[in-house]
Structure 1
Amino acid sequence: MSRKKALLRTVALLLGVAAIEAGLGRRWGSLPPLGRFFSPVEGFWRNAESPKARPPNHLLIPTLEDSVWVVWDTRWVPHLFARKEADLYRAQGYIQAYLRLWQMEVQSDAAAGRLSRVLGENLLPYDRAMRRLGIPYAVEKALQAVQQDSLTWAMLTAFAEGVNAYLAQLSPRDYPFEYKLLGYAPEPWSPIRSLYLVKYMAYDLTVKSQDKYLTRLVAQLGKGAIDTLFPNTAPYGHTTILSGTWRASKEAPPQPADLYSRAYAEDTLGQAEEQDPYWIGSNNWAVSGRKTASGYPLLANDPHLALNLPSIWLEMHLVGPSVNVYGVSLLGAPGIIIGYNEAVAWGVTNVGPDAMDFYRLRYADSLQTTFYYNGERLALHPRVETLWVRTPWDGHKVVLDTVWYTPWGPVVHRSRDRISRPLEGKARQVPIDCALRWISYEPSNEGLCFYLLNRARGLADYEAALQHFGSPAQNFVYADTAGHIALWARGFYPLRWKEQGKFVLEAEKPENHWRDWLDLEDNPHAIDPPEGFVRSANSYPAGPEYPYWLGWYFALPDRAARIAERLAAMRQATVDSFRLLQLDVESFLARRALPLLLAYMQDNPSRWLDTLRRWDYRFTGSSRAPTLFKRWWVALHLQVWEPLRLRRPEWEITLKMLEETHAARLAKKPAPHPRWLSVADTGARSLPGLIRSAWEKTQAWADQAGDTLVWWRYRATQVRHLARLRGFGSDTLQIDGDAHCVNAIGSIAGPSWRMVVDLKPPVQGYGVYPGGQSGNPGSFHYADFLPAWQQGLLYKHLFVRSRSAFPDSAIAGYSIGAPNK
């Protein structure tokens, strides 16, 4: 071979190697840079951990003022001990980043509408929706409030310093797996990112708004029908606050003649059907010492949220000069959100009030930049949102989106806006050409609330802490070592006239807008009630005697009814009594509805009906009866409300009408709701006919269902990866429960943290969540709590006062941080 040919081959080989290196070093469409991803030096292999992996020996935080110690127990729960308050939160930020950095950042980006910068064009509609809903606007308002409080600002700043100290020591080979897979790097943390997480929770917990659908329906059906189908009070009377007297410190405004915007009701633009809303909800309760074996209160909480890996929560123990608190923290935020200290325990569930009102604008110009209010012409103010969108070849393009603002909030979508419709998420619920006013736009400082709760010593401290909580309104359950129990449905509530915000309103009329707020004492609450217990399950906060309007759309009565029934009968309660109640799967709906349905099927010899006749109304995972009942009930519900596809009533209305119509048939009286159900044996609205028709559909499906008929298979519960990466979540879980049981297991949501606290000194807590402490899929602590959660077990917490109190057998390692000399 000539020297010339050899040289050409050598050059060609080098060019080929360079091309391969260049190709493997860049992103190709949705694929990461494969060279770096598979690199044995810095690729995903480095994220695999051995079962003997140990936590870091040192916390490299340059801003520490004094020494910090972290004791890691065998479940990898970090117990932080600091001599300075700021150091405690620096260490918490560092540890959160060490365990869950990618989760912290992606959740903050989701709130800020910044996911498309990493995940590309497919996430642009989501990002646009978050910007148009005004999340950045809400965070800016919250930032103003937080910066005025030196305590909260110092806590957030110290937390950010800890996160950034961890970031500073990372090289690309140390990045969490998801950064390598998606091909990007983490960004510095700032206090505003923590505020984005708070507003993301507000977004997540703001219940679906029904205003635009009810506005259409009230115009079609009349106000009387709306009052029957979508009532303002609990049809079965199961309210959060069981008893009490209310003194109104402020007079509610009078209800005007016009309750809704007729202009919106008549506008056909932007109409959309919706699926039945889905309440997964949460539970909490406490009982006084007179119902417990110890003579001291017990408290329980199990918030029901999306089931994800990594988990939404991180279990931690914080000990500082003024605090010794244990519980779970929210990733990206300092402090403990649900937990207990040496004197008190607390937990939260969502109240679910009407948090969003919509105001139909009458534009004053063809460009839709001005509108009328109270006889005046007001200007809309443009806010340009800049979205960086990742392209398939690892570049970015800039998308500018102009959102127009009123004095109350954004016009989420004007009819002139050239954007794809419908919008995503909760932005879809916003009526077109309407201003949105959301309680989360109000300046608030939820971080100060939890800072004070972490240090509370009694009832007065509990009440003082709640003063600072704004949104989303939460049912704060409370118990203490002095024997008190309490429940407060705390949040910012506008002083509204009755049904204000149930329908779309006219922006032009001043009486339609919020003018004042309820004081803390006017929020529904109970302290040491005569029943000896308090409980919440997202139901109507209070009964019809409560003088203020908080909304109409709350959770169904099933969980609230069952919990109250069990607590009322409870004697000599223990931690295990509460654990078993958290696992209760008896269905309030099935217990009331199934006997009625079967009364019309007495001559039917179906084997599937025999299965239902033998059923104990429990949603047991291995049973077929729950599936049969669920299919039958849903088929019947859809048939009853077939004329109302725009927005169907809730199942409690279906049940109540069935019961009342059935009673009328037995008494040979006229149908109480003839428009919807008839007492006749035949006809389109016949009660017997609808029940039998629904069963025929159910039986035909069951005959073909095979193994799908088993409840756990039909419900198909999975704990999914946060980014929906296949292979990084769980298999389908073989567990009991249903969204409408106390053990509210759905297909993708359920109890995200089960906790029980015994207030007998020394206070002792127990808990579990469906995941693990690490966010690394290659760690043995990624999902190691999941089996215990499936079995309904609780871990006993190592809640101690000092580092020396840990038994050696409980310790997995130590991390030590020291100030720079």
Structure 2
Amino acid sequence: MNRTKSYQRRRFVIMATLACGLILMLPGCIVMQKKFDKSVEPLPESITLSGINDEIIIRRDFYGVPYIEAKNEDDLFFASGYIAAEDRLWQMVMMSMLMQGRLAEIAGEDTLKLDIFIRSLNAKKFVSDAMKKMDPASLRILENYSRGVNAWLESHNNLPAEFILTDYKPEKWKPEDTLYVFGMLNMDVSGNFIEELDFLILAAKLGYEKAAWLFPVYPDEKIPFEEAAKLKDVPADSIVQIKTAFMELRREMKQKLPMSVPASNNWALSGRKTASGKSIVENDTHLMLMIPNAWMLMHLKCPTYEAAGVTIPGVPFITLGYNGRVAWGATMVMADSQDLFIEKMRTEGGTVEYLSKGKWLPAIQRKETFNMQGGKPVEVVLLETNHGPLLNTGLAGVPFPPEMPVQPLPMTSEYGISLSWAMEQGNRTLKAFYDIGKAADIREAQQAVRNVQAIYLNIVYGDRDSIAWQVTGSFPLRKKGKGILPSPGWTGEYDWTGFLAPDKRPFSMNPAEGFITTANNRTVPKNFPYQLTGSWYHPDRAERIASVLKKMDKAAMKDMLKLQGEQFSSMAEKVQRLLYSDPVNGRLKEIIKGWKNKKKKARALEALALLSPKNFNAVMSANSANAAVMGAFMHCVTRGIFLDELGGEESLQWQAFLDVTMMSYSAPEDHLLYRPESPFWDNTETGKVETREDILAEALDSAILLLEDRISKNREKWQWGKIHTYHWKHEFTKQTSFFHGYLNRGPFPAGGDVHSVNVSTFTWGENFDTWNIPAMRMIVDFGLDEPMSLITVPGQSGNPSSPHYGDMIPAFLTGEGRPMPFRKENVEKQYDSVMRIAPEK
């Protein structure tokens, strides 16, 4: 690549940013702002477009949410593409380009490493296979959607700010782009391979057995020592020479991927538990706090298809929602559909080989060309084994041109890391979501849901009279082991043998309890005969929802809204029980009273008193001082248990540990409540051996000191929402100090935590920044004339110049619902801005 051109380009963007930041501060000199704002045009009353058959009516409501009405499906999905481009073009383009491994064409060499890693996954093969197998009706939908996107592009010269700042002109949208978006969704909801890489990083410092303590499966299950022992004869540090590059890459992935984190709720009540005698279906998907978020709202209607709900930008139809007869919502199963295999490698005569069942086999070579903004194309050779892509090149510190080799990088270790990944049947999954939207009743929905094979979800659905739950996805069957942690690849004994038959996936309809709920928790018995995952999330939200629903017998919409907004933390309550249990409470007081420092003693006893069940109801409300103490305690106790062994907060191991705590049931909560025997309770930086109670006592003191430092020494000023906030930050502002007011929204005080139904996740031990929230909240009460309530956050539009970029935040903060009407008179009343699209003659 021409480094001079690349530098000049980056310098131009930086200088433009600086200049724009200064310009925006000068009254009357808002040149750049005006250029951005040209991308938002007033809604015309009518336009004409070629490529449609009949008139299309597009209505928008107060929040800019579209209601699209057409006379046939071809025009309907054309209009869906047109509106998606208007509302979320940059996001659509980025998702497709990311999954294709082509971000360097937009951002230059800075994203080349990420591109190489993504390209090493070979999503192109899965997309190509899906396109070949796609039925004609589904292909027609994708083609019409693509034509709609491209019609918007062709008729709009003023693109949103991101295109101006990057000087990037998007290509025409193709049907394949939608499948790349689907492929990214598959990766986002099945990220076990990242946990396995984190395990290798931690094992390199701690050893396999001790590292296993940091990967608990569930409160009632054993630590996975047997899984960790699979690699006992392989030195962990020889595997993870790529660890530094991986952590850098992981940080970039978290910035670029719109989901990739767990947590969602859904539930359904049968008519015998509701006031109307009809079913209620609820869903609130918890995704990364980002602007724009991963969902956009839409109502689509024509004579043969009508559905309202959320869709992913780049996908033609409703993904989760309601069609007037059936409602459906989803949470992540936390599926383990990805396995890392450690391969024995060598280079013979310039050929990279891997060992398989006693034979050395040549690695399959695949040449990939990477085009870069401002530079020449770069060719890289990627490798595959019989298990899948070899990640060494994608994870290694790849040199930049002119040093970039066109031949495979030489193996710097006798071991490689390959990835098996279930990403089949994308074509069937796409059609399945379309079919769900057309289902006339729960039986038709059941058949459609069973065909969702490429995405791992708990789909809860229902009609007026019935409710059901189905686990979806293709779950690998293994010869041996559970696939929780990396496996030796050279023996063949841990290889996949196929996939779980669809009729073996968990399913329930109209259970005796009268309700269904999932919240990323373990939804099957401990001894379930098939391995779905070892990465369940904690049980707290599911337990809380079930306990509330169990008591209901006349549930209505208002009760569902109340439960969606609940900030009670089951984990906080469990911590209270621990601190005030016998003999823990007595031992804590004994340790604290034995301290010589009177101020330290007073602080710890103060924290203990503030966390007492008598003084704190375990509700993590934003204005609560006691909640602030609980949040600070959880933060401090995590650091107290683990930071000393992991080498300090700047170490790769600490970063990997924080990373893995975000992704599933975590070591901090597991240790705090269930593992007093763990070796991590000892503080290795002191000359004595500590107990669990010693670490707890220190954390109580540290929590008070933290709040004094972060808020005030005046206890009356303490509030959880002063350190725990919602702050929507655009990706661009993470790299520059300018445009924050234009691109970002917040901060706002946040209540709740990762264990409350109204999730507001922060990472224990790192900081209190909220990074995971309900990205949408949906309720369908079949007993109402207008059953559906749906809201997203921060807004419908992804264009920072749009008034609908962040205008749903107030409703989100107060827990309000928003109707999605189906009746004609209600539709016309709510969606009062109207544009008609006529076919060009």
Q: Please give the secondary structure, in 2, of the residue aligned with 1:779.
A: coil
- Partner residue in 2 for 1:787: 810
- Partner residue in 2 for 1:719: 728
- Partner residue in 2 for 1:621: 622
- Partner residue in 2 for 1:165: 151
Which of 767, 774, 781 is the matching residue for 1:751? 774
The answer to whether the 8 A contact 1:347-1:476 is kept is yes
Letter in 2 for 1:790: L
Letter in 2 for 1:764: P
Pairwise CA distance, 1:402: 2.0
Pairwise CA distance, 1:610: 3.7
CA 1:567/1:497 → structure 2, altered by over 3 Å: closer, same or farther?
Answer: farther
1:342 maps onto 2:365 in alignment: no
C-alpha distance in 1, partners of 2:625/2:553?
33
Pairwise CA distance, 1:65: 2.2
C-alpha distance in 2, partners of 1:178/1:512?
46
Q: Please give the secondary structure, in 1, of the residue aligned with 2:748.
A: coil
C-alpha distance in 1, partners of 2:367/2:36?
40
- Partner residue in 2 for 1:767: 790
The answer to whether the 8 A contact 1:261-1:504 is kept is no
CA 1:722/1:571 → structure 2, altered by over 3 Å: closer, same or farther?
Answer: farther
Letter in 1 for 2:150: N
The answer to whether the 8 A contact 2:278-2:781 is kept is yes
Which of 677, 683, 687 is the matching residue for 1:673? 677
CA 1:689/1:655 → structure 2, altered by over 3 Å: closer, same or farther?
Answer: same
CA deviations 1:682-724 (Å, max 9, x no partner) are 9523232222122232233233222595322312321222544
Which of 31, 37, 54 is the matching residue for 1:48? 37
The answer to whether the 8 A contact 1:300-1:347 is kept is yes
- Partner residue in 1 for 2:410: none
The answer to whether the 8 A contact 2:230-2:488 is kept is no
- Partner residue in 1 for 2:833: 813
The answer to whether the 8 A contact 2:337-2:422 is kept is yes
Superposition map of 1:552-571 within 5 A? 552-571=534-553
Which deviates the most, 177-186 or 193-202? 177-186
Which of 169, 174, 179 is the matching residue for 1:195? 179
C-alpha distance in 1, partners of 2:282/2:419?
36
C-alpha distance in 2, partners of 1:205/1:330?
14
Unaligned stretches of 5+ residues in structure 1: 1-23, 238-254, 422-429, 662-671
Q: Please give the secondary structure, in 2, of the residue aligned with 1:798.
A: coil
Letter in 2 for 1:611: L
The answer to whether the 8 A contact 1:72-1:811 is kept is yes
Which deviates the most, 337-346 or 181-190? 181-190
Letter in 1 for 2:526: P
- Partner residue in 1 for 2:263: 281
Bigger Rg, structure 1 or 2: 1
C-alpha distance in 2, partners of 1:179/1:135?
25
- Partner residue in 2 for 1:83: 71
Pairwise CA distance, 1:414: 5.1
C-alpha distance in 2, partners of 1:416/1:106?
21
Pairwise CA distance, 1:469: 1.7
Which deviates the most, 56-65 or 732-741? 56-65
- Partner residue in 2 for 1:433: 416
CA 1:761/1:497 → structure 2, altered by over 3 Å: closer, same or farther?
Answer: farther
The answer to whether the 8 A contact 2:262-2:286 is kept is yes
Q: Please give the secondary structure, in 2, of the residue aligned with 1:453.
A: helix
1:472 maps onto 2:455 in alignment: yes
Which of 551, 560, 569 is the matching residue for 1:578? 560
The answer to whether the 8 A contact 1:235-1:652 is kept is no
The answer to whether the 8 A contact 1:414-1:433 is kept is no
C-alpha distance in 2, partners of 1:41/1:702?
41
Superposition map of 1:96-107 within 5 A? 96-107=84-95
Pairwise CA distance, 1:445: 3.1
C-alpha distance in 2, partners of 1:716/1:641?
25
Pairwise CA distance, 1:215: 6.4
CA 1:113/1:710 → structure 2, altered by over 3 Å: closer, same or farther?
Answer: farther
Superposition map of 1:510-521 within 5 A? 510-521=492-503
Pairwise CA distance, 1:137: 3.6
Which of 61, 76, 91 is the matching residue for 1:73? 61
The answer to whether the 8 A contact 1:211-1:502 is kept is yes
C-alpha distance in 1, partners of 2:319/2:463?
17
Q: Percent identity?
A: 26
The answer to whether the 8 A contact 1:765-1:797 is kept is yes
TM-score normalised by length of structure 2: 0.80
Unaligned stretches of 5+ residues in structure 2: 1-7, 255-259, 401-412, 594-600, 647-652, 734-738, 762-769
Which deviates the most, 773-782 or 92-101? 773-782
Pairwise CA distance, 1:122: 2.4
Which deviates the most, 550-559 or 409-418? 409-418
Letter in 2 for 1:702: L
Letter in 1 for 2:704: Q
Q: Please give the secondary structure, in 2, of the residue aligned with 1:98.
A: helix
Please state which structure has a larger fraction of its residues in helix: 2
CA 1:775/1:729 → structure 2, altered by over 3 Å: closer, same or farther?
Answer: same
C-alpha distance in 1, partners of 2:315/2:548?
35
Which deviates the most, 738-747 or 57-66? 57-66
- Partner residue in 2 for 1:180: 164
Superposition map of 1:48-447 within 5 A? 48=37, 54-58=42-46, 60-146=48-134, 149-171=135-157, 174-209=158-193, 210-212=195-197, 214=199, 230-235=215-220, 259-260=230-231, 262-263=233-234, 265=236, 267=238, 269-270=240-241, 272=243, 280-366=262-348, 367=350, 369-390=352-373, 395-413=374-392, 419=398, 433-440=416-423, 444-447=427-430
Which deviates the most, 98-107 or 158-167? 98-107
TM-score normalised by length of structure 1: 0.82
CA deviations 1:322-357 (Å, max 9, x no partner) are 222111111111000110011110011111111211
What is the count of residue pairs matched by the alignment? 746
Q: Please give the secondary structure, in 1, of the residue aligned with 2:497.
A: coil
CA 1:322/1:369 → structure 2, altered by over 3 Å: closer, same or farther?
Answer: same
Pairwise CA distance, 1:756: 0.5
- Partner residue in 2 for 1:710: 719
Letter in 2 for 1:717: Y
Letter in 2 for 1:765: M
Pairwise CA distance, 1:752: 0.5
CA 1:216/1:772 → structure 2, altered by over 3 Å: closer, same or farther?
Answer: closer
The answer to whether the 8 A contact 1:348-1:475 is kept is yes
- Partner residue in 2 for 1:529: 511
Q: Please give the secondary structure, in 2, of the residue aligned with 1:384.
A: strand
Q: Please give the secondary structure, in 2, of the residue aligned with 1:386.
A: strand
CA deviations 1:17-54 (Å, max 9, x no partner) are xxxxxxx999825345989x999999651553899x74
- Partner residue in 2 for 1:17: none
The answer to whether the 8 A contact 1:593-1:655 is kept is no
Which of 705, 708, 732 is the matching residue for 2:747? 732
C-alpha distance in 1, partners of 2:56/2:396?
54
C-alpha distance in 1, partners of 2:227/2:805?
56
C-alpha distance in 2, partners of 1:87/1:307?
34
- Partner residue in 2 for 1:7: none
The answer to whether the 8 A contact 2:208-2:232 is kept is no
Pairwise CA distance, 1:626: 2.4
Letter in 2 for 1:786: I
C-alpha distance in 2, partners of 1:31/1:462?
54
Q: Please give the secondary structure, in 2, of the residue aligned with 1:737.
A: coil
Which deviates the most, 444-453 or 337-346? 444-453
Letter in 2 for 1:484: S
Pairwise CA distance, 1:446: 2.2
The answer to whether the 8 A contact 1:505-1:512 is kept is yes
C-alpha distance in 2, partners of 1:660/1:117?
49
Which deviates the most, 805-814 or 298-307? 805-814
Pairwise CA distance, 1:520: 1.8
The answer to whether the 8 A contact 2:720-2:750 is kept is no
